[in-house]
Amino acid sequence: MSLRIEDYALLGDTHTAALVGCDGSIDWLCLPRFDSAACFAAILGGPDNGRWLLAPAGERRAVARRYRGDSLVLETDHANADGRVRVTDFMPVREDRPVLTRIVEGLRGRVAMRSRLCLRFDYGHIAPWIRGDGRRRYAYAGPDTVVVDAGVDCRTGAGTCSADFTVGEGERVAFRIAWCGPREQPPGAFGAHQAEAAATATERWWQRWVEGCTYRGVYRQAVVRSLLTLKALSYAPSGGIVAAPTTSLPEQLGGVRNWDYRYCWLRDATFTLMALLDAGYEQEAVAWREWLLRALAGDPRQMQIMYGVEGERRLTESTLDHLEGYADSRPVRIGNAASGQVQLDVYGEVMDALHQARSHGVPPQQDAWDIQRALMDHLESHWRDPDNGIWEMRGPFRDFTHSKIMAWVAADRAVKAVDHLRLDGPAESWKRLRQEIFDDVCENGYDTRRGTFTQAYGSKTLDASLLLIPSVGFLAATDERMTGTVASIEKELCQDGFVQRYTTTEGTEAVDGLPAGEGAFLPCTFWLADNYIMQGRTDEGRTLFERLMALRNDLGLLSEEYDTSNGRLIGNFPQAFSHVPLVITAQNFQEGGGPAHHRSNARPPFRGRGKTDAAGQESGGGRRT
């Protein structure tokens, strides 16, 4: 029986990440980077697919865990009849090689412990040779070597390194694994003293990073944990940001909606960037822009909607049939076919993110503007094309209303770059384009009879992406077309108050090319809360926001979706797309201050993202998404 997704904690070193279960088992780890093959893949199969269990040998009575302060140093306390022990897990922020350290500390009594380190390279199916003796072992196969240092003698057999030992009060035993490439020197000596020093340094590193956070509102603790999570999903060498560190944690338990998120989506990354930027993290914005420019370099017509962490383009999707899948959710996929899709919204997101960066004072860069102009040239002749849409539907291409709205956003930010930031470009032609798109959306994406925007032109289906309309400044939240859309979404897409992206239930029009059924989508539910705030329904916004906050696990982490029937987090974990709107909505409460702040304020809370001068439009002056 698998642990629940919310039973996992995140460790990270800004290159890759691990998931540690509350039972003391590390069940997911890809080395050396986020999208490398996993050496612990038990979460998608079983213990034989690789894991590292470090826990009391006997029956456990209680477990409590927490991060040390504002860091990713995790402490798990296990108690049983013999006493209490603490296991401290962390990955030192990467210097030369990936390292994962575990320290066992006796708190009370004398507790028998066991360590079962089962490395399985290439996603859980290559058992390495293990060489060496005593307290240092080398596990290797093909390009991977993991150097194992144990604070006690260990034994090997069947590709596993095991140790049984006891700890008494005040005693410490440390373990470390370090990954090395084939010709790299193994790491130096290791002992409990070095382990403690590394834990302190790691905690300080994260703590110092948090000191840069400018958010001071009532939700600070939750916001900081979300920001830490977003930082942990950033790939330090390039500035790329992955959507989540996992693959194939299912959107429906036992279902086929299992995707690989260990890549950089332009959409998810730009949202992340804006959350970080607004919380005071400009350096991350500069790094992300560097990543973006490298990723998009070349012919902008070849822009993809997602890339690898270093800007790689070939993300071919395949299945791993040797893995049973989390809770039997098959197939397990690596790579992502969405990389070959057409999603028009990314033009709007990239234009918006670069505009926000400049508006926040990030020094301008000519290459960035050159790329933006080339993207606008392309968009001008392609915005009418049907596409796969924000939800990456694998069904037929459609004229998704949200995609067109984001094309409007692209034109709007291009105009503003010229008018407000004095960049050089054909503003008049972009203004005409903006107006043309606006009229087209209002005519074809709005159902006047039902009083709601619809998922696609001419469709009757609703779509939660429409909740973004005021946040991006297309219309005010109080515009009757928007209040009508919110009312329809409340009626048709909400389950127990949580929002689904669109309807996938049996019997309705099959829009995404997949069997029906998935959970409520957490980002969309935050967007509904934003609409409430912007409509002046602050109490409803707060109630919904706090219900969402209550879905976070004991460590403050969220996955992509929530299964309202089983009351469980589902989907990849932790998910940037869910943590971003938590940060944004919390800031909206703080900045908006409630109903009085309608979008025509001189200083929109949503800096620069709202107001437009396109004729016939009431500015949303919207908030961030």
Ligand X SMILES: OC[C@H]1O[C@H](O[C@H]2O[C@H](CO)[C@@H](O)[C@H](O)[C@H]2O)[C@H](O)[C@@H](O)[C@@H]1O
Binding residues for ligand X (CB under 6 A): 243, 257, 259, 261, 265, 267-268, 336, 338, 390-392, 394, 577
Least distance from C-beta 391 to ligand X, angstroms? 4
Strand partners, 169: 106
Residue 127: how many other CB atoms lie within 10 Å: 17
147 in Cβ contact with 161 (< 8 Å)? no
Q: Which is nearer to ligand X, 209 or 391 (CB)?
A: 391
Q: Which is nearer to ligand X, 258 or 617 (CB)?
A: 258
Which tokens go with 265?
């989506």
Least distance from C-beta 211 to ligand X, angstroms? 29
Rama region for 26: left / alpha / beta (φ>0; ψ in -120 to 50; rest): beta
Least distance from C-beta 240 to ligand X, angstroms? 14
Q: Which is nearer to ligand X, 30 or 338 (CB)?
A: 338
Least distance from C-beta 559 to ligand X, angstroms? 11
Give me the DSSP letters along 234-272.
EETTTTEE-S-S-B---SSTTSS---B--SEEHHHHHHH
How far apart CA 146 and CA 138 sit, in angstroms, is: 6
How far apart CA 333 and CA 247 sit, in angstroms, is: 7
Q: Which is nearer to ligand X, 40 or 400 (CB)?
A: 400
Least distance from C-beta 472 to ligand X, angstroms? 15
Least distance from C-beta 262 to ligand X, angstroms? 10
Q: Which is nearer to ligand X, 341 or 538 (CB)?
A: 341
Q: Which is nearer to ligand X, 179 or 326 (CB)?
A: 326
Helix 345-359 and helix 282-296: axis angle, to 10°?
140
Which tokens go with 592?
């908006």
Least distance from C-beta 243 to ligand X, angstroms? 4
Least distance from C-beta 269 to ligand X, angstroms? 9
Q: Which residues contact 539 (CB under 8 A, 6 or more apart)?
A: none
Q: Which residues contact 90 (CB under 8 A, 6 or more apart)?
A: 11, 71, 72, 73, 74, 100, 101, 198, 199, 202, 203
Residue 1: how many other CB atoms lie within 10 Å: 4
How far apart CA 402 and CA 404 sit, in angstroms, is: 5
How far apart CA 142 and CA 190 sit, in angstroms, is: 25
Q: Which is nearer to ligand X, 74 or 344 (CB)?
A: 344
Q: Which is nearer to ligand X, 67 or 259 (CB)?
A: 259
How far apart CA 526 and CA 548 sit, in angstroms, is: 8
Least distance from C-beta 40 to ligand X, angstroms? 22
How far apart CA 235 and CA 310 sit, in angstroms, is: 8
Least distance from C-beta 332 to ligand X, angstroms? 14
Which tokens go with 177?
């694994």
Q: Which is nearer to ligand X, 258 or 488 (CB)?
A: 258
Q: Which is nearer to ligand X, 280 or 340 (CB)?
A: 340
Instruction: Report which of 141, 182, 120 is spatially closest to residue 323, judged by C-alpha positions.
Output: 120
Q: Which is nearer to ligand X, 257 or 623 (CB)?
A: 257
Cα separations in angstroms, 371 against 85, 183, 278, 284, 415 = 55, 40, 24, 20, 15
Least distance from C-beta 614 to ligand X, angstroms? 27
